[in-house]
Amino acid sequence: MSVVQSGVPSPAQPSAGESGEDSGERRRIQRFLALRRGEPCFWVDIDGLGRRALRDISVEGFSVGAEAGLAEGALFGFVLHREGVPDLIRGRAQVVNCIAATAQAGCRFVALEGGDRERLHDWLIALVIMNASVRITEKDAAAIVDGPSLI
């Protein structure tokens, strides 16, 4: 299974300055590469900026390449797409950091429409199962999605 650190804090966590850490990593839960067999499998349509491949995703947010032109602190509407799945996830997100070294913007979900939080959870469970190097159950995959960051 592929996982990556991207530095997107959850709303309940302090910023790096408040916690005394200088690390960009402030996330509590696991974030997953938005890839399947090395190819992007999640995309985001950002209001006015078009469709971009996600770098990583979690139940808290996602990261996208800096070429998306998002400024730190910006609030924006979005639509998430998953390869081969007709369902969409709509909501609003906020840029919480821009990391020049990796040319990416970390975004947290501010709001998801209707049942989209549950749909996102299901998408992430499916991603974990598809990318697992050993056979795992849906229950095990849900525990990984909901559990603490493994790195």
Quote the domain boundaries for residue 80.
16-141
pTM to 2 decimal places = 0.74
Residue 67 gets which letter from DSSP?
A: G
Q: Is residue 4 situated within a structural domain?
A: no
Sequence-ordered list of residues with C-beta below 8 angstroms from that of 143, at least 6 positions apart, any chain: none
Q: Is residue 34 situated within a structural domain?
A: yes
Q: What is the CATH number of the domain that holds 46?
A: 2.40.10.220
- Tally of structural domains, the chain: 1
Give the per-residue pLDDT at 50.
79
Give the per-residue pLDDT at 111.
94
Cα 104 to its chain centre, rounded Å, is 12
Q: Is residue 150 situated within a structural domain?
A: no
Q: Is residue 1 situated within a structural domain?
A: no
Q: What is the mean pLDDT of residues 80-102?
A: 89
Q: Is residue 7 situated within a structural domain?
A: no
Q: Is residue 131 situated within a structural domain?
A: yes
The token pair at 26 is: 């402030």
Radius of gyration, CA atoms only, the chain = 15
pLDDT digits (tens, 9 = 90+) for 28-47: 777 777 777 778 888 899 88
pLDDT digits (tens, 9 = 90+) for 93-119: 999 988 888 888 899 999 999 899 999
Q: Does residue 9 register a pLDDT over 60? A: no
Q: Is residue 147 situated within a structural domain?
A: no
Task: Tell me the C-alpha distance between 45 and 67, whole Å.
Answer: 13
Q: Is residue 148 situated within a structural domain?
A: no
